[in-house]
Structure 1
Amino acid sequence: MDSLQTLHVEIPEHLTVPPTTHGGDQAPRSPAAVYRSAYGAARSAGHRFWYRLSGKGRKRVPGWAESVGNILKSSYLNILFAVVPVAWISHYLKWNSAVVFVLCFLSIIPMEGMLDWGGEQMTLYLGKQFGDLLIITLNNAVEAVLAIALLFQCELRLLQATLVGVILLHLLLIPGTSFMVNGKEIQHQVLQSHHSGLNQSLLLMGVLATLLPTAFFAALDRGNNPTPVFVNEELSVAVVSDFTRGEILKISRGLAILLILVYIQSRKYLHNPTGKKSDALALHEDEHDALKEHELRLLEEEPLTNPWACLVMLLVVVALLSATAGLLVKSIESVREGSNITTEWFGLILLPVVSYSADGTVTVVFWLERRIRSHKKKQHIEPSILAEGRAIDLSIQFTLWWTPLVVLLGWFTGRPMHLLFDYFEVAILVGSCFLVNYVTADSKTNWAEGFIMIVFYVMIALTAWFYPGQPEIKLMLECTATGVTELLTAAAASGAATEAASEVARSFARTVLG
C-alpha cells in the first residue's frame, strides 16, 4: 500500500478500457492495472521512468546477441546498407552527379527504415508521449541535416524556401495522404484530443512568429512614403541596407530563443499537464478508448531488442545518415544549376519531397508487406480508428525547434540567417496553418478532409512553379564580406554584383528613368 501511495497513480477510473480477453481471463485490463503491477515498487517519477526504460516489469527483454540479430533482420530493406560505401566512394571519385544522387538516395532508404523501426521499439520502453517525441525527432533527421548543410554552404535563400517547404510537406501532403488512405473504410478517425488542441495554438504561434519580421520590413518599406510612386520605389531600395538587416537579425535571434522556449514548455505540458510527477507517463483523462488500448499494447507487447542496443543502433544510423544526406544535397544541386527550375520551386517543393521520399518509400514498403501478409493469411485488416497525425507534429517541431535552431546556428557561425521570409512563403504558411487547424479542430478526420489538404498542397506547388521570388529578400541573405549597401551601390553603378542586387538595382533604375 505504501508503494502505491508513493506511485501516486491517479488514473484507474479514466484509463479503464472495455473488457478484453487475455488467455480466457474475462477480467478487464487497463493501462493503470498493468502500470501498477510493473512499476508499483518505484519510489519516484524518476524511478518509474528508469524502470520502464530499462525494461523492468516486462516478462522478457532480449539480450545483446538476440537484439543485434533482430536489428539485422528487421526488414528486407537492410540489404541496401551495402550501397552506402559505394555512394560515398562515388562522391569522392567525382562520378556523374545523377549516379551519386541515386546511390545516396538508395542508401538513405534503409537508414530511414531502421530509424522508424528503432523508434517504434523505443516507444515500448518510453511510452506513447516520450516515444512519439523520439520518433518525430528521428523522422526530422534528414530534413534537419539538409538544412544545416545548406546553412554551412551559405545557400540561405534556398535554405529559407526549404524550411517552408518541409513545414508545408508535413503539414499538408503527408497527413492529408494518411487521412485519405487510412480513412476510406471508416466514417472518421480520431486524433489525440489533448494533443491536437495544443498543436493548433503552437502551429499558429510558430507561423505568426515568421510574420513579425516580414511585417516589420513591409512597414519600413511602405509605411513612411507620402504619395508618389517614385518615393515609394526609392524607399524600397533604401530599406534594403546593412542597418535594416542588422535590426532584422536582432529580431530574428530574439524570436528564435523565444520559439525554442515555447517548444520546450509545450513538451513539458504534454508529458506532465497537471504538474504532478506521476502524470508524465500517463495518458490524459479525456483521451479516446482507442488511445488507451494503444498504451496498453505498449505496456504488454514483447520488444525485439533491449533499449541499450537500440539506442546504440540509432546513434550509428543517425551518424551515417548525416554524412549521406550531406552528399545527397551536394549531388542534387547540379540538378538546379543545369535546369530552369527557380530557387523558389526547388526549395519549396523539390528538395522537401526528395528528402522525404526515402521515408515515404519505407512507409509504402511496410504497408505493402502488411497487406501481403494479411492476404496470404486471408485476414481482413480492420481500419484503425486512430488517425495518423504525427506528420503535423513533425511540422510543429520544425517550426518551433529546428528553424529557430538554424537561425541561432547561423548567428554563432557568422551567417546572416534570419526569419524575414518571402511574402509569398509567409502567405502560404498562414493559409496552410488555418486550413490544418480547421481540419483538426474537432480532433476527428476523414478521407475528404485529407483530399482537401492534398489538393491545397498541389495548388501551392502549381503557383510556386511560376513565382520568381522576391529579390530584396535574397539580397538581405547574401553571405558576403561586402555590406548590403555597398553591394547595392555597386550593382546600380556597374551591374557587376549578384543576381538579387542587380534585380533590385534594375527596378530602381526603371523607376528613375521612367
Structure 2
Amino acid sequence: MAEDLFERGYEEAKTRYRRFWDRLRGKGRNVPGWKRSLKNIIISSPLNVLFVFLPVAWVARWKDDHFSEGERFAFAFLAIIPLETMFQWGGEQMALYLGKELGDLMEITLHNAVEAALAIFLLAKCELRLVQSTIIGVIILHLLLIPGTSFLIGGARILEQNLHEHNTQLNHSLLTLGVMTIMLPTAFFTALDRGDIIGEARTGENNQGTELLTDDRRGQFLQFSRALALLLLGVYICSRIFLHNPPGELTLHEYDAEAPEIKKEEQKVKEKLREEDPELNPWICILLLAVTIGIMAPTAEWLVDAVAEIEAGSSIQDEWLGLFLLPLVSFGADAAVATLFFLKKILFLAPEPPAELARGIAIDLSIQFALFWMPFCVVLGWWINKPLTLLFDLFEVSVLIATCFLVNYVTADSKTNWAEGVIMIAFYAMIGVVAWFYPGQEEIIPFMKCAGVGETLSELINGTLSQD
C-alpha cells in the first residue's frame, strides 16, 4: 500500500514536472526565433529610446569631475527608466511560460528590482536611516500612488473595476501583518521613552539618554528584529504557496459554469496565458533579464552615490529623500506609460474595451516589499554586520498605518473607480507636503549608525554628528 502511494506520488510529480518543462519551452506555441526576439526587444516600448542615456550615465560616473551631482543623478535616473520597462516587459513574457501564479511572482519581483537594489546598496554603505525611509517610501508609493494612478486611468471610461475578492481578502491580512510588525519595535521604544532624552542630556539635567540608548539596548532590538524578519519571510513564503495552489472549493468552482463573473474573468486570464503566443524566446528572455539586472545594479549604485552628494550639499532631510525621491525614481517608467495610456483613454484612442478586472499588482508589490525585501535587508545586514533594526521613525510608522487603513477601506468591497484613485493620489501628495518639513526623530539616530551607540550619542549631544 505504501509503495503504491509512493509510486503514485512519484508519477504525479513527474507529470507536473513534464508539464512545467513543456510550458517553459513553449511547446505547442509559436515561439519566436532569435532574430524575431531581438527585433521585438527593440520595439517593445517607446521608452527604449531612453537607452541613449545609459552610456552617458556611465561616462558621467567615471568622469565625475566634468559633471555635477545633479547631472549624474538625472542621467542615472533617465537610464533606469528603460531598464525598469524592460524588467516589466520581460516579466510579462516569462508569465506566458510560467503560468499565472509563478508569472505573477516573477512580475512582482522584477517590478521591485530597482527599489530592492537601491535599499541593498544603501545598506551596504550603512545609510541605515535612508534604508528605512526608502522601505517605507516604497511601500506607500505602491499602496497609494501606483494603484491610485492605475485606478484613475483604468476608470477613465468605466464606472468601476473589480479586484479579485479572494486575493484582496488575503492582501488585507498580509498588509496589516507587515504594518503591525513594523509598529511593534516602535511601540517598544516609545514605551521606554521618558521625554526629550537628547535635549535633557545636552543640558545635563539627567543621564537617561545614556541609560536608554546603549549598545546593549540596540542589541536587544537587533535580536528581536531578526526574529521578526525570519517570521515575516516564512509568512510570505506560505502565502505564495497558498496563492499558487489554493485548496478546496475555490479551486473547484473556478471552473464551474455557474461561478461568479469575476472568477470567470480570472479564468480567462489564465487561459490567455496558456494560449497567447509570446514575443520572446524563453531562453532569450532569461538572458535579457540577467543582462538587465547586471546593467541595472551599477547604475542604481551610482544613482545612490549622486543622491548622497545632493543630500550633503542641500538642506533636504533624509526622511524626504527616502520617503519620496528614491521611490519615485522607480516610478518613472510607470508614470510615463500611465500618462500615455490615460491620454488614450480620455481621447478615446484605445479601441479595446475597458477591462472589468483591475490588476492589483501594485498592492502585491508593497506586500512583497514589507514581507520579503524589508526582512531580507534585516537578515542581509545581520550577515554583513550592518546593524539594521525594525525600529522605524514614529512619523513614518504613523504614515504607514494611515496608508494601510485608507487602502484597506478603498479596496474592502473589491471594487475601484477613478474617484478613489484621486483620493489615494491626493493623500500621497499630503504626506509629501508634511514630510518636506519633518526633521526626523532624533532619539533613534544613535541606533541608525554603524558606530557604537555611545560614540554616536556623544557626537549628537555635542552637535558634531556627521550626516554622511
TM-score (normalizing by structure 2): 0.88
Which residue in the other structure is 2:228 paired with? 255
Asked if 1:178 corresponds to 2:153, the answer is: no
Q: Tell me by how many angstroms 1:365 deviates.
A: 4.8
Q: Tell me by how many angstroms 1:165 deviates.
A: 0.5
Distance 1:381 1:487 in 2: 59
Which residue in the other structure is 1:485 paired with? 454
Show CA shifts across 1:397-420 (max 9, x none). Answer: 000011111111111111111100
**TM-aligned CA distance change 1:384 to 1:365, over 3 Å:** same
Q: Tell me by how many angstroms 1:245 deviates.
A: 0.5
| Alignment RMSD (CA, Å) | 3.1
**TM-aligned CA distance change 1:324 to 1:468, over 3 Å:** same
Which residue in the other structure is 2:159 paired with? 187
Distance 2:71 2:194 in 1: 49
Q: Tell me by how many angstroms 1:109 deviates.
A: 2.0
Q: Is the 8 A contact 1:179 1:388 kept in 2?
A: no
Where does the alignment leave 5 or more consecutive residues of structure 1 unmatched?
1-7, 9-40, 501-514
Q: Is the 8 A contact 2:119 2:131 kept in 1?
A: yes
Q: Is the 8 A contact 2:235 2:371 kept in 1?
A: yes
1:361 aligned residue (333, 336, 339): 336
Q: Is the 8 A contact 2:40 2:280 kept in 1?
A: yes
**Superposed counterparts of 1:231-310, under 5 Å:** 234-274=207-247, 287-310=262-285
Which residue in the other structure is 2:95 paired with? 123
**TM-aligned CA distance change 1:70 to 1:42, over 3 Å:** farther
Which residue in the other structure is 1:498 paired with? 465
Asked if 1:402 corresponds to 2:373, the answer is: yes
Q: Is the 8 A contact 1:109 1:362 kept in 2?
A: no
Structure 2 letter corresponding to 1:195: N
**TM-aligned CA distance change 1:489 to 1:302, over 3 Å:** closer
Structure 2 letter corresponding to 1:254: A
Q: Is the 8 A contact 1:42 1:51 kept in 2?
A: no
1:316 aligned residue (260, 276, 291): 291
Q: Is the 8 A contact 2:23 2:97 kept in 1?
A: yes
Distance 1:397 1:83 in 2: 30
**TM-aligned CA distance change 1:406 to 1:462, over 3 Å:** same
Q: Tell me by how many angstroms 1:90 deviates.
A: 1.3
Q: Tell me by how many angstroms 1:200 deviates.
A: 0.6
Show CA shifts across 1:331-385 (max 9, x none). Answer: 12222222221111121112211232234224445666x679984xxx6342221
Secondary structure class of the residue paired with 1:288: helix
Q: Tell me by how many angstroms 1:291 deviates.
A: 1.9
Distance 1:143 1:99 in 2: 21
Which residue in the other structure is 2:397 paired with? 426
**TM-aligned CA distance change 1:190 to 1:405, over 3 Å:** same
Which residue in the other structure is 1:214 paired with? 186
Q: Tell me by how many angstroms 1:421 deviates.
A: 0.3
- Paired-residue identity, %: 50
Structure with larger Rg: 1
TM-score (normalizing by structure 1): 0.80
Distance 1:477 1:259 in 2: 22
Which residue in the other structure is 2:4 paired with? none
Distance 1:80 1:56 in 2: 35
Q: Tell me by how many angstroms 1:66 deviates.
A: 2.2
**Superposed counterparts of 1:198-209, under 5 Å:** 198-209=170-181
Which residue in the other structure is 1:24 paired with? none
Q: Tell me by how many angstroms 1:80 deviates.
A: 3.0
Distance 2:48 2:418 in 1: 33
Distance 1:373 1:211 in 2: 45
Distance 2:274 2:186 in 1: 47
Larger relative contact order, structure 1 or 2 (CA cutoff 8 Å, min sep 6):
2
